[in-house]
Amino acid sequence: MRRSNLSLVLSHLRDAGPRSRARIASDTGLNKATVSSLVAELIERGLVGEGEVQRVGSVGRPGQTVELAPAGVVGVGVEVNADFVDVTALDLTHDTVLSRRTPADMRALGEAGSIALVVRCLDDALTALEATGCTVVGVTVAVPALVDSSRGRVALAPNLGWSGTALADQLDLALVAHGVHVAVDNDANLGAIAEHAVGVGRDVDDLVYLAGEVGVGCGVIVGGQLVRGASGFTGEIGHAPLNHRLEVCGCGRVGCWETQVGLEVLLTGCATGPDDPVLDSDADIDARLAEILRRAADGDQATLDTLERVGIALGLGASVLVNIVNPRALVLGGYFAVLAHHLRPYVVHTLLERVVAPDAGGAEVRTSELGFTAASRGGAVVALQGVFADPTRVPALAGA
């Protein structure tokens, strides 16, 4: 019962913001003495702290608010993609404590080399966090793949060349000195969780998140809950057979939507030749996309034509999702967000043409503000969920 009440108070502070003890008691239905005891324990564990003094009316003692403690307890998210490894650490308030991206050609490294790079990136990040006194409560790794999240296994990651990879077990073993548990999930699922928790989808409970990277995936949230499907493999929209030209996809099949709107299609279409810097996988993706934006601003016709083709194809695939799910928000993430100024008009126009319901069923096309950190942020959010569910996972501070 006490553990449940600790969770209730901590989660209420996350959702409602700083509150006085009396207000927490009123909001949760707990008595004031119980709330005072619970808050004292949460303070001992470094999860909450005293906030500002509040005076209600002109009579009586002022009350002091209680708020989530920043910086001390953190969750870590990692995105493993074909072109980079991104590590993000968030505290209980979802503020960023650490953010690092390492460009790399993961397919060239192979499975073993890629996992070794992930280990190095994580080891460096965890060491840096521990040096500042942070308590890391978990790590969640995002992979563009079919993921058996219950076992932490990557069933199939076509754009990485992985299959049947026991990723969580390998990372747990390699990082045992840090004493953290590693979970694994699909990148688009975690991107959707991030948008719903800390992004442009905070105000809606029905959304579709489209991740535009080398692969294309979607995360679907209905009624505030992530939709996983019978085996946890929902969201593989990138491999829907929507390309009538039957081009070969990285998964080995032909006609996948990814062959029309994947990042490589965009980069290749905008490139002037094989040595064009936008094709340099060792360069940071933000820099390459900035070059495409510059070319578009300069009126480069090949770039503008490519953006039009991708935008129309993006709208066509998105219309299928909107017809099926009827979300309140369609969130463009990854490179779709970076180039949204050029892509979004085509998407909106196509949705209005192709969605059966009037006004695209009320779906609003929104641009992610999380960039290429959405999946890693979502991973950090998930890592922190365990603390909100059971605050006793975090030991009391020394001397508390």
Q: Mind listing the pLDDT tens digit for each residue in 3-48?
A: 999 999 999 999 999 999 999 999 999 999 999 999 999 999 999 9
Looking at residue 139, its pLDDT comes to 98
State yes or no: pLDDT of 214 exceeds 90.
no
CATH architecture for segment(s) 73-190+375-393? 2-Layer Sandwich (3.30)
Q: What is the mean pLDDT of residues 305-309?
A: 98
Q: Is 201-369 in the same CATH topology as 73-190+375-393?
A: yes
Cβ neighbours of residue 191 closer than 8 Å, sequence gap 6 or more: 142, 209, 211, 219, 333, 334, 368, 370, 374, 375, 378
Share of the chain above pLDDT 90, in %: 88
Q: Per-residue DSSP letters for 176-244?
A: GGGT--EEEEEHHHHHHHHHHHHSTTTT-SSEEEEEESSSEEEEEEETTEE---SSS-TT-GGGSB--T
Q: pLDDT confidence of 398, banded at 50, 70, 90?
A: low
| Joined tokens for residue 319 | 């219309």
Question: Does the pLDDT at position 251 exceed 90?
Answer: no
Please list the alpha-helical segments (H only) found in the chain: 2-16, 21-28, 32-44, 106-131, 167-174, 187-198, 258-261, 263-270, 285-297, 301-325, 335-338, 340-354, 374-389
User: Looking at residues 165-188, what average pLDDT do you find?
Assistant: 97
Torsion angle in degrees (nearest 10) through CA of 31, 34, 40, 41: -140
DSSP 86-116: EEEEEETT--EEEEEEEE--HHHHHHHHHHH
86-105, pLDDT tens digit by residue?
Answer: 999 999 999 999 999 999 99
Q: Angle at Cα 198 formed by Cα 381 and Cα 126, nearest 5°?
A: 35
pLDDT surpassing 70 at residue 60 = no
Please state, in angstroms and rounded to a whole number, the distance separating the CA atoms of residues 368 and 21: 36
Nearest to 320 by CA among 222, 233, 214, 218: 218
Mean pLDDT of the chain: 94
User: How far apart, in Å, are the Cα atoms of 386 and each of 3, 196, 256, 310?
Assistant: 12, 17, 37, 39
Burial 309-340 (b: 16+ CB within 10 A, else e): bbbbbbbbbbbebbbebbbbbbbbbbbbbbbb
pLDDT at 52 over 90: no
CA distances from 248 to 218, 252, 308 (A): 21, 6, 21
pLDDT band at 55 (very low <50, low <70, confident <90, very high): low
Q: Which two tokens stand for residue 330?
A: 């369609």
Residue 282 — pLDDT band, cuts 50, 70, 90?
confident
Q: Does 58 have pLDDT greater than 80?
A: no
pLDDT at 244 over 90: no
pLDDT at position 245 is 85
Model pLDDT, residue 64: 87
Number of C-beta neighbours around residue 379 at 10 A: 34
Give dist(CA 261, CA 238) in Å, integer.
8
pLDDT digits (tens, 9 = 90+) for 194-207: 999 999 999 999 99
Give the pLDDT mean for 219-235.
93
Is the pLDDT at 396 greater than 80? The verdict is yes
One-letter amino acid at 326 equals N
Lowest-pLDDT choice from 61-75, 145-159, 219-233: 61-75
Residue type, 323: N
Cα separation values, 133 from 153, 233, 386, Å:
31, 37, 20
* Each residue's pLDDT tens digit, 344-374: 999 999 999 999 999 999 999 999 999 899 9
Considering only the top CATH level, what class is 2-68? mainly alpha
**For residue 375, is pLDDT > 80?**
yes
In the β-sheet with 364-367, what is the strand arrangement from edge to edge? 225-226, 216-222, 207-212, 329-334, 364-367
The answer to whether residue 56 scores a pLDDT higher than 60 is: no
Query: Percent of the chain, pLDDT > 70?
Result: 97
Please state, in angstroms and rounded to a whole number, the distance separating the CA atoms of residues 259 and 159: 12
201-369 under CATH 3.30.420.40, yes or no: yes
Q: If you search the block for the tokens 């991104």, which residue do you land on? A: 86
**Does residue 281 have a pLDDT over 90?**
no
Question: Residue 62: is its pLDDT beyond 70?
Answer: no
Domain positions in the chain are: 2-68, 73-190+375-393, 201-369
d(CA 125, CA 108): 24
DSSP state of 71: S
| 44 contacts 62 by C-beta, under 8 angstroms | no
